[in-house]
Structure 1
């Protein structure tokens, strides 16, 4: 009886707050186990049932938080990419031009993939069914390419083509790193090749690809 009385005496606002906290914890747990599942080589094929089992929740609980796997993938892509993108963008803002920013971005993402395979697999698997590297990163890449075209650093007429060259090559290279042995210079080598494809003069492409990276 005492427990029931105390429960009735809880302030309605506090009760609502407790509910929100419990809901947030459940959502965070679902996202955490989904990251683990997508961080596997075959994570692309993760199903709702696997997520529910790993998180210890019922299907109805899952659907209280996400409309389905597409919604969950979008949420996870944001969680996986947002903070890293913010850090990378802050570092890129210190660089002199779009060519150097493009090269540095490629090197940052491939560099992280070399030391964090689980993160890299999650990016590869999430990109297979949505925006490459997440919607925010996808949009930022197009913005940087557009700046390069406007400054005549890139010889392109359509920034979407440049964005796809950058993002597609970076994603494929991330996958290559996961499956094959690559040299330590691989991220810089990829960056230099991408800049060449974008029409950047070879001497500047080499300079941007080999310059010291600002710390994140």
Structure 2
């Protein structure tokens, strides 16, 4: 019984923490000059005391929400890349899946557009590995991984900012990917093959 109560309590705490984070994300996405704890207490429908059981400050909540979103996003994208070994296909498909997520959720796009480090360290590590492999195979131009990531990340963040305020068509996002891959030196033929793979995998629920 003691173990059962402990597990039940842990699940309840995890559920409450998740509720606060999920309620906070649209507020962070909207931005605004000042967000205070009362804003999050209201949207999450919890007491101020309950809020302080999980987060001490708005900044701490923002950090948790950022990590929460990035973990979910990167897990979803990784699942879509299973079975792909070609660096261009992996790189282009990953970009397109990130963009597609933003296209379907304007609030999420707003949240992503405000992140300082893009899709996070896990995504940067994956991009770096794919870039280096592609360079080794002669599929990408010889440029530093940090410059490549900054160029692609800048383009992605601007696209998220646009999608946060305006509905964006799929063909526009295809062009974003083409532009990013062109900057890396990938051939247009391989990029088009990658976009076709994206469309096939997107159709599979």
Q: TM-score range by the shorter chain?
A: 0.7 to 0.9
Which of 158, 161, 166 lines up with 1:172 in the alignment? 158
Tell me if structure 2 keeps the 8 A contact 1:192–1:208. no
- Give 5+ residue unaligned stretches, structure 2: none
Q: Following superposition of structure 1 onto structure 2, how do residues 1-216 of structure 1 map, counting pairs within 5 Å?
A: 13=3, 16-39=6-29, 41-42=30-31, 45-125=34-114, 127=115, 130-180=116-166, 182-211=168-197, 212-214=199-201, 215=204
How many residue pairs get matched?
202
Q: Distance in 2 between matches of 1:148 and 1:69?
A: 41
Please report the TM-score for the alignment, with normalisation by the length of structure 2: 0.80
Give the C-alpha shift of residue 140 in structure 1: 2.6
> Cα 1:68–1:150, aligned 2, differ >3 Å: closer, same or farther?
farther
> Cα 1:77–1:140, aligned 2, differ >3 Å: closer, same or farther?
farther
> Cα 1:152–1:206, aligned 2, differ >3 Å: closer, same or farther?
same
Q: Distance in 1 between matches of 2:187 and 2:179?
A: 11
> Cα 1:141–1:74, aligned 2, differ >3 Å: closer, same or farther?
farther
Higher mean alpha-carbon deviation, 186-195 vs 55-64, is at 55-64
Give the C-alpha shift of residue 206 in structure 1: 3.5
SS in structure 1 opposite 2:170?
A: coil
Give the C-alpha shift of residue 168 in structure 1: 2.0
> Cα 1:18–1:210, aligned 2, differ >3 Å: closer, same or farther?
closer
Tell me if structure 2 keeps the 8 A contact 1:106–1:187. no
SS in structure 2 opposite 1:65?
A: coil
Q: Distance in 2 between matches of 1:102 and 1:165?
A: 14
Give the C-alpha shift of residue 74 in structure 1: 2.8
Tell me if structure 2 keeps the 8 A contact 1:113–1:174. yes
Q: Deviation per CA, 1:160-200, whole angstroms, max 9, x where unpaired? A: 21122222211211222333454431121111111110111
Larger radius of gyration: 1
Kindly report the root-mean-square deviation, in angstroms, between the aligned alpha carbons of the 2 structures: 2.8
Tell me if structure 1 keeps the 8 A contact 2:103–2:167. no
